[in-house]
């Protein structure tokens, strides 16, 4: 069963049968109001847009239109690869495409080579840094006024 409802001329709320009050102007225009409050405000010429409880205010301030709002689309971040210092992008892609066993074998070989180089260097470095003679003795450092520089003390964190 459908119930015939009218709209309030002022608030735009639905008026069910047996409620509200009609007002007829001098020019014969019929207005239907939901309450005496709405009738009074209409005749005082107070704009419905100024009152927060009216539908006109809600429309003006974009309230209550949840069904029409669609979710804003956010852009998905694009994935891309950057080259690492000392290795080009092509080299990175080749390394990624390699089978894991091969990659591990290459890394182990590189570590062994580094270890071999590290064991050779300390022995060679010890021989080169040890020549003895009077030429190696350095003169004492001089301070700002020509005397020996005062040792600097460490105070606090740097």
- Residue-wise pLDDT for 71-98, tens only, equals 778 888 887 777 777 778 888 888 778 7
Q: Has residue 116 been placed in a domain?
A: yes
* Residues 10 and 50 placed together within one structural domain of the fold: yes
H or E, element range at 21: strand 21-24
Residue that terminates a domain, selected from 60, 80, 97: 60
Do residues 11 and 49 both lie within one domain?
Answer: yes
Q: Does position 158 have pLDDT exceeding 80, yes or no?
A: no
Give me the domain span that covers residue 11: 6-60
Domain count, the chain: 2
Is 14 inside any structural domain? yes
On the question of pLDDT at 15 being above 80, the answer is yes
Query: How many angstroms separate the CA atoms of 86 and 53, rounded?
Result: 68
What 3-state class would DSSP assign to 42?
helix
Whether 76 is covered by a domain: the verdict is no
Mean pLDDT lowest among 8-17, 27-36, 45-54, 107-116: 107-116
- Mean pLDDT check: name the lowest of 7-11, 19-23, 80-84, 147-151: 147-151
Is residue 49 included in any domain, yes or no? yes
**What phi and psi, each to the nearest 5 degrees, are found at residue 10?**
-100, -55
Q: What is the DSSP letter of 24?
A: E
- E-strand spans in the chain? 6-7, 14-15, 21-24, 30-33
Q: Is 118 a member of any domain? A: yes
* CATH number reported for the structural domain that contains residue 36 in this entry: 2.30.170.20
Residue 34 · residue 6 · CB < 8 Å: no
Q: Which helix (H) or strand (E) holds 31?
A: strand 30-33
Whether residue 158 is contained in a domain is answered as no
Task: Kindly state whether residue 72 falls inside one of the protein's structural domains.
Answer: no
Mean predicted confidence (pLDDT) in 101-111: 83
């Amino acid at each position: 069963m459908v119930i015939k409802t009218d709209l309030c001329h002022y608030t735009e709320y639905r008026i069910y049968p047996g409620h509200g009050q009609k007002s007829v102007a001098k020019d014969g225009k019929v207005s239907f109001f939901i309450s005496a409050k709405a009738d009074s405000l209409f005749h005082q010429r107070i704009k419905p847009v100024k009152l927060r409880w009216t539908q006109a205010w809600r429309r003006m301030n974009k309230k209550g239109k949840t069904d029409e709002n669609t979710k804003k689309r956010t852009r998905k971040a694009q994935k891309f690869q950057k080259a690492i210092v000392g290795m080009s992008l092509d080299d990175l892609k080749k390394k990624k495409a390699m089978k894991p066993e091969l990659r591990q074998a290459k890394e182990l070989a590189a570590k062994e080579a580094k270890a071999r180089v590290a064991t050779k260097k300390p022995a060679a470095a010890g021989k080169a840094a040890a020549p003895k003679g009077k030429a190696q003795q350095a003169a004492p450092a001089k301070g700002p006024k020509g005397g020996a520089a005062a040792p600097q003390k460490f105070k606090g964190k740097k």
